[in-house]
Amino acid sequence: MITAHTDRSRGPSCADPRYYVERYTPSILLLNKQITSEALDVLHRIPLNLEGTPGTYLAMRQMDITEFISEELLQNIHYAILRLDFAHKHFVLPLLDIWGQRNNLKRLDVYRPRTTPIPRDHWKVVKSRIRTFSTTVPVVWHKVDDPLKADI
């Protein structure tokens, strides 16, 4: 029996260990504002493929997308592709909250399985939030056999 998520004797989940992902900016971007401006303009136009964050393990809690990619970068990208092999509720909802505050998205492509995986309730929540988000940004749904391997 797995008790990691329900065992309160371990303490609060915020005390669970986390991976540390070191983020850094290349030196050339720190030295030259013109190069930085040009590079960021190009970077923001490249479609960003998002599949989720590392899953929850017994001794770890779900990582937040902002531990990998800054909110500012997420808000400045023009094209995003969500590849959801399952609902990833704890990944998608915070991402939509970030984009709900501010975004420059021109289009969001969502790849999902043809059949709705279990748990179906999570899919209902995720689909509902993405549909609500689609009132501000064009969202294109793609039902495919394997969202992680589907061609763009």
Asked if residue 108 is part of any domain, the answer here is: yes
CB 62 within 8 A of CB 55: yes
Asked if residue 81 is part of any domain, the answer here is: yes
Specify the pTM.
Answer: 0.75
Asked if residue 15 is part of any domain, the answer here is: no
Asked if residue 54 is part of any domain, the answer here is: yes
Cα–Cα distance measured from residue 143 to residue 111, given in angstroms and rounded to the nearest whole number: 6
Neighbours of 132 (CB within 10 A): 11
Determine the structural domain holding residue 87 and report its residue range: 24-144
Asked if residue 30 is part of any domain, the answer here is: yes
Q: Which two tokens stand for residue 60?
A: 């770890």
Count of structural domains, the chain: 1
Summarised one tens digit per residue, pLDDT across range 19-78 is: 566 767 778 777 888 888 888 889 899 999 998 876 666 556 677 888 888 899 999 999
